[in-house]
A and B are shown apart, each in its own frame.
Chain A
Amino acid sequence: MGSSSIKVRESRDELIGRVRLLSAGMVGSLVLVLFGFWSVQIVSGEQYRDQAENNRLRREPVEALRGLILDRHGRVLVENVASYNLLIQRSRAFDLESSFQFAGEILGRPSETLSGVFDNARPARQFSPVLIAENLSLAEVARFGVNSFEHPEFEIQVRHLRLYRHGPQTAHLLGYLAEVTERELAREQSLFLAGAQVGRRGVEQIYDEMLRGRNGEQVVVVDSRGRLVEEFHKVAAEFGENLTLTLDLDLQQEAVELLDGKVGAVVALDPRNGAILALVSAPSYDPNLFSRRLQQDEWRALVEAPHHPLQNRVVQNTYSPGSIFKIVMATAGLTEGTITHSDQVWCGGASKFYNRRFRCWKRAGHGWVNLKSALKSSCDIYFYNLGQKLGIQRIARYSRLMGLGRKTSVDLAGEKEGLVPDMNWSTRARGTNWYPGETISVAIGQGPLLVTPLQIASMMALVANGGQRVSPHLNAELNHLPTQPAGLSTEALAEIRQALWAVVNERKGTGARARVDGLDIAGKTGTVQVVGQRTWTDSSTLPPEQRDHAWFASFAPVENPELVVVVFVEHGGKGSSAAAPIAQALYAKHLGLGNGNHLSR
């Protein structure tokens, strides 16, 4: 027993050391584990706490309703309408395949299209809902609602879209909304949310910030499946401000109708303060197309359409002013004292300047003409002579004084400044000296001279109001901006106003077709040659794209003017026959609107 007991003990003792080794291993492992917890909880604790917060809190924007846009009488031009989007919450889907099948049936789309949209979306969070269809009809929304028990994975999101009540009629002045670009997002991250809509073109762009308001934010606690547990924090949305325009919807619609089928522009404004009452560019487009996401081919169709309907011809296109420019010439000549109202010039239908023959538009000539009759019959020879006397530098100076060659700073996006040429411009831009012969062309509004219809309207306002420079604008709050004297002779302008009245109201005036009974309209026609002609040809016999552009610039009543109307018709032919009747109809409409008390004699 003793010996065996010793033997047992001996073999037992050998194990003791190994048990100690095993224990050391366990202690070592536990220390290692503790070190791991120390590193995660103490060293990186802060970072993991942030991640836990990220897990638990979801930030949801609270959409701020965009401000409405109204006309001068408070009629709504743009409003917000609810639109319904379909979202899918992946974690609640029993079987994505059948979910897409179900949704595809309701929407009448192949389920692969929907799953394709889903696959491309790749949400940032596993449990974020994914947008798979937009602009559902109420019937479709109802069907998803009825089936919400079988298909809890679908959510309907209410978003507000812009509804432009008058579509193409007000497209160019209002603009539209489009999704914010990545660059804008990077620049003003605090203002926008990804996928937010921002104003593009028109007053939607210029007054975007004011109309947009400020989105609120709702921070909610969610569980691991993205279900809302409780509200954590909420910042209410600040709704956008409404914008009241100076626009008169009736006049606008009348102008739209008058330009129907034509390519051109009409602008009507109040010469006393620059308030724009009508602003039409034709052809137009439907801004409501942009409210629901525009398809690639729809966009291409708009951009590639023959007459560029997206262009706002009132401010974005520049044209030769043609005979309208004679108003600037007359103002310059009288203010400078180069001519007086009684100075006479012989018009024989053509005349030689700097060894070149220049034609009057009237082959037979006008005979003896003075300033008034030259304006009334739009005699070219008279103004060739005046141009030669004034020289290009003085012509350019007066053009700029009257607002040409620079932006009117109207509250519309993308305005062009046009071009007033002078010697400086010639050497800088063309690298050649100014040819004196060019001055003769500029004197009747041809040559390199370029203007926008709005510049002509503000120039007419200046003539009408006795030399005060006004800022054309659409925002009614800008009505009280002070006007600035342009530094022109008021007597000269009064004389010109009388001459312009004669253009419309006296016999043989070129603007006779703008005459309205009971209203003293003053105006000037313009006909711009598109193709250079060596002889007296009637452009109405040419193919349409080579016909002359027609201008008519006017105001009324001649004493204390209240309305400026400028009409421009691309390839319309003569200003007297193509543009003046449109102005006539607008004045008649304006009178009919109850404005007659002020306008009529």
Chain B
Amino acid sequence: MRNTSVSGTGITSLGDTQPALRYLTGVDWGLLVSALLLAAVGLATVHSASSELPVDYLPRQALWLGLGLAALLVASSIDYHTLLDHSSLLYLCGLAGLVLVFFVGHEAGGAQSRLGFGGFSIQPSEFAKLATAIALSRYLGELKQPYLDLRNIAIALAIVSLPVAAVAAEPDLGSAAMFLPMVAGMLLVAGIKWRTLVGAGVVALLLAAGVWSFGMQSYQRQRVITFLSPDSDPLGAGYQVRQSKIAVGSGGLVGQGYMQGTQSQLRFLPARHTDFIFAVLAEEWGFLGVMTVIALYALFLYCAARVALRARNRAGILLVSGLVSLMAFHIVYNTAMVVGLVPITGIPLPFLSYGGSFTLMCFLATGMILGVDLRRYVNR
């Protein structure tokens, strides 16, 4: 803000001559490097976690990482204003993907949520999140008043509710719920009055009660009950929480050593290459490893938040805020779940968990954040 006009012109003139150089000097290296380091840690941990599985997921995850890097480059190179200009189209595409799974999707984990391409399959809901973030940024970015009124909030929620409803109908409540932290972050930044917040809290409580009574399957209710008292059924639903905590706890300060974690190598740990990959890391690398990776996440989130702080306009700030909120929620919830602080639900850990669509989504989001940063001097 202090030196916007001075360096802004300099970069612009440089950019005219050498776009690659402009990219290299303008890109936020802290954000990019932390993401790449996390992805590298993820590759190593996926390898260890899958050593007792029928296939080693390392090559597949490496492939997804390659695709993710390409997606990151493309996303960061596109001017986010262009994305905003075409937000309606992207939004519709996202919705179309969600609708498509109803007809040609296949099932995974009880929900019809995937689209297949050859040997791979993707989960359209991940990309719908990004499209929704862009559409919301477009709408909220154009508002001028310091606080949102009820009409603004209603419209914003309307924009979100379509994809959320589609995902929830698959039925994939976990993924549908992941829209909420993103939207909440954007609405918070766009400006919500306290009384609105309190009102929303009341509504949310009522909604939660309604969902508990009518919207949840019995196994989902069981998960919440199990979380509240994990020892009530140690061999049933509490098994995962218990095994995860045992894995994490037995890591101690320095860990059992790479590929040496008994909880994961002897297959006591469930979903160890996906949702519980952080438990594998905690068991094998101990509290020191946990601190290191959490520090990398903190660096990543700090750099991303810094991009929001120096973004050129409302839409840029809101877009970055939404994406940061989404990633931060994944990071905090997944790690908290692994250590038994919150109920278990299928929320993967960015850059570490194995998974195609989710990895792609994380890199795309990172690319979009970098893209906003690269255009912080562009006047429009």
Contact A42 B287 (CB under 8 A): yes
Contact A224 B314 (CB under 8 A): no
Partner of B332, one of A26, A37, A229: A26
Provide a sorted-by-A list of 14 A–B residue pairs whose CB atoms are within 8 angstroms. Answer: A15-B189, A15-B314, A19-B309, A19-B317, A22-B305, A27-B301, A30-B331, A33-B341, A34-B290, A37-B282, A45-B252, A47-B249, A48-B250, A126-B235
Contact B328 A41 (CB under 8 A): no
- Indicate whether B353 reaches chain A with its CB closer than 8 angstroms: no
Cα-based distance from A22 to B326 in the complex (angstroms): 12
Known: A16-B309, A48-B245, A126-B235. A23 touches B189 (CB 8 A): no
A2-20: contact bitstring with B at CB < 8 Å (1 yes, 0 no)?
Answer: 0000011001101110111
- Indicate whether A40 reaches chain B with its CB closer than 8 angstroms: yes
- Report chain B residues within 8 Å CB of A33: 294, 332, 335-336, 339, 341
- Report chain B residues within 8 Å CB of A23: 301-302, 305
- Indicate whether B286 reaches chain A with its CB closer than 8 angstroms: yes
Known: A20-B309, A34-B294, A224-B266. A26 touches B250 (CB 8 A): no
Stretch at the interface among A51-59, A72-80, A140-148, A308-316: A51-59
Query: 8 Å CB contacts to A: which residues of B253-268?
Result: 253, 262-263, 266-268
**Closest beta carbon of chain A to B329's beta carbon, Å:** 9
- Report chain A residues within 8 Å CB of B335: 33, 37
Q: Which residue of B lies closest to A34 (CB)?
A: B294
Contact A55 B266 (CB under 8 A): yes
- Indicate whether A36 reaches chain B with its CB closer than 8 angstroms: yes
User: Contact residues of A with B, CB < 8 Å?
Assistant: 7-8, 11-12, 14-16, 18-23, 26-27, 29-30, 32-34, 36-38, 40-42, 44-45, 47-49, 51-52, 55-56, 126, 221-225, 229
- Indicate whether B80 reaches chain A with its CB closer than 8 angstroms: no
Cα-based distance from A289 to B375 in the complex (angstroms): 91
For B243, B249, B253, B339, which residue has the most chain A Cβ atoms within 10 angstroms? B249
**Closest beta carbon of chain A to B150's beta carbon, Å:** 19
- Report chain B residues within 8 Å CB of A42: 252-253, 287
Cα-based distance from A591 to B91 in the complex (angstroms): 112
- Report chain A residues within 8 Å CB of B248: 37, 40-41, 48
Contact A45 B250 (CB under 8 A): yes
- Where chain B touches its partner, the secondary structure class is helix
Cα-based distance from A417 to B137 in the complex (angstroms): 100
**Closest beta carbon of chain B to A406's beta carbon, Å:** 57
Contact B252 A12 (CB under 8 A): no
Q: Which residue of A lies closest to B146 (CB)?
A: A14
- Indicate whether B251 reaches chain A with its CB closer than 8 angstroms: yes
Cα-based distance from A30 to B253 in the complex (angstroms): 18
Cα-based distance from A27 to B324 in the complex (angstroms): 12
Cα-based distance from A443 to B301 in the complex (angstroms): 108
Contact B340 A12 (CB under 8 A): no
Q: Which residue of A lies closest to B311 (CB)?
A: A12
Cα-based distance from A102 to B335 in the complex (angstroms): 46
- Where chain A touches its partner, the secondary structure class is helix
**Closest beta carbon of chain A to B254's beta carbon, Å:** 10
- Report chain B residues within 8 Å CB of A21: 188
Cα-based distance from A365 to B158 in the complex (angstroms): 127
- Report chain A residues within 8 Å CB of B185: 22
- Report chain B residues within 8 Å CB of A225: 267
Cα-based distance from A15 to B246 in the complex (angstroms): 43
User: Contact residues of B with A, CB < 8 Å?
Assistant: 52, 143-146, 185, 188-191, 235, 239, 243, 245-253, 262-263, 266-268, 282, 286-287, 290-291, 294, 297-298, 301-302, 305, 308-309, 313-314, 317-318, 321, 324-325, 328, 331-332, 335-336, 339-341
**Closest beta carbon of chain A to B236's beta carbon, Å:** 9
Q: Which residue of A lies closest to B189 (CB)?
A: A18
Contact A49 B252 (CB under 8 A): yes
- Report chain A residues within 8 Å CB of B249: 40-41, 44-45, 47-49, 51-52
Which 5 residue pairs spanning A and B have beta carbons closest together?
A: A48-B249, A52-B250, A45-B252, A23-B305, A224-B267
**Closest beta carbon of chain A to B335's beta carbon, Å:** 5
Instruction: Given contact pairs A18-B188, A22-B325, A41-B249, enumerate 19 new A-B contacts (beta carbons under 8 Å).
Output: A7-B144, A12-B317, A14-B146, A19-B308, A19-B309, A19-B317, A22-B189, A22-B321, A22-B324, A26-B301, A26-B328, A29-B332, A37-B282, A41-B286, A48-B246, A48-B250, A55-B262, A221-B266, A224-B268
**Closest beta carbon of chain B to A581's beta carbon, Å:** 69
- Report chain A residues within 8 Å CB of B297: 30
For A14, A38, A225, which residue has the most chain B Cβ atoms within 10 angstroms? A14
Q: Which residue of A lies closest to B253 (CB)?
A: A42
Cα-based distance from A373 to B239 in the complex (angstroms): 89
**Closest beta carbon of chain B to A127's beta carbon, Å:** 9
Q: Which residue of A lies closest to B335 (CB)?
A: A33
- Report chain A residues within 8 Å CB of B282: 37, 41
Cα-based distance from A229 to B309 in the complex (angstroms): 54
Contact B328 A29 (CB under 8 A): yes
Partner of B245, one of A22, A34, A40, A224: A40
Cα-based distance from A47 to B145 in the complex (angstroms): 56
Contact A34 B188 (CB under 8 A): no
Cα-based distance from A229 to B291 in the complex (angstroms): 32
Contact A222 B266 (CB under 8 A): yes
Contact A55 B309 (CB under 8 A): no
Contact A15 B339 (CB under 8 A): no
- Report chain B residues within 8 Å CB of A221: 266
Cα-based distance from A12 to B247 in the complex (angstroms): 46
- Report chain B residues within 8 Å CB of A30: 294, 297-298, 301, 331-332
Cα-based distance from A455 to B238 in the complex (angstroms): 66
- Report chain A residues within 8 Å CB of B144: 7, 11
Contact B287 A38 (CB under 8 A): yes
- Report chain A residues within 8 Å CB of B247: 52
- Report chain A residues within 8 Å CB of B286: 41
Cα-based distance from A48 to B287 in the complex (angstroms): 14
Known: A11-B314, A29-B332. A55 touches B268 (CB 8 A): yes
**Closest beta carbon of chain A to B257's beta carbon, Å:** 14
- Report chain A residues within 8 Å CB of B317: 12, 15-16, 19
**Closest beta carbon of chain B to A56's beta carbon, Å:** 5
Q: Which residue of B lies closest to A16 (CB)?
A: B309
Q: Which residue of A lies closest to B262 (CB)?
A: A56
- Report chain A residues within 8 Å CB of B298: 27, 30
Q: Which residue of A lies closest to B307 (CB)?
A: A19
- Report chain B residues within 8 Å CB of A40: 245, 248-249, 339-340
Q: Which residue of B lies closest to A1 (CB)?
A: B379
- Report chain A residues within 8 Å CB of B341: 32-33, 36
Known: A12-B317, A18-B188, A33-B341. A41 touches B266 (CB 8 A): no
Q: Which residue of B lies closest to A57 (CB)?
A: B262
Q: Which residue of A lies closest to B310 (CB)?
A: A16
**Closest beta carbon of chain A to B90's beta carbon, Å:** 23
- Report chain A residues within 8 Å CB of B266: 55-56, 221-224, 229
Cα-based distance from A222 to B268 in the complex (angstroms): 10
**Closest beta carbon of chain B to A221's beta carbon, Å:** 7
Q: Which residue of A lies closest to B144 (CB)?
A: A11
**Closest beta carbon of chain A to B316's beta carbon, Å:** 9
**Closest beta carbon of chain B to A92's beta carbon, Å:** 14
Cα-based distance from A36 to B262 in the complex (angstroms): 22
- Report chain A residues within 8 Å CB of B143: 11
Cα-based distance from A34 to B338 in the complex (angstroms): 12
For A12, A22, A45, A51, which residue has the most chain B Cβ atoms within 10 angstroms? A22
Q: Which residue of B lies closest to A21 (CB)?
A: B188
Cα-based distance from A20 to B185 in the complex (angstroms): 12
- Report chain B residues within 8 Å CB of A37: 248, 282, 287, 290-291, 294, 335, 339
Cα-based distance from A302 to B210 in the complex (angstroms): 65
Contact A19 B321 (CB under 8 A): yes
Q: Which residue of A lies closest to B252 (CB)?
A: A45
- Report chain A residues within 8 Å CB of B235: 126
- Report chain B residues within 8 Å CB of A34: 290-291, 294
Known: A26-B328, A56-B266. A41 touches B191 (CB 8 A): no
**Closest beta carbon of chain A to B265's beta carbon, Å:** 8
Cα-based distance from A291 to B37 in the complex (angstroms): 66
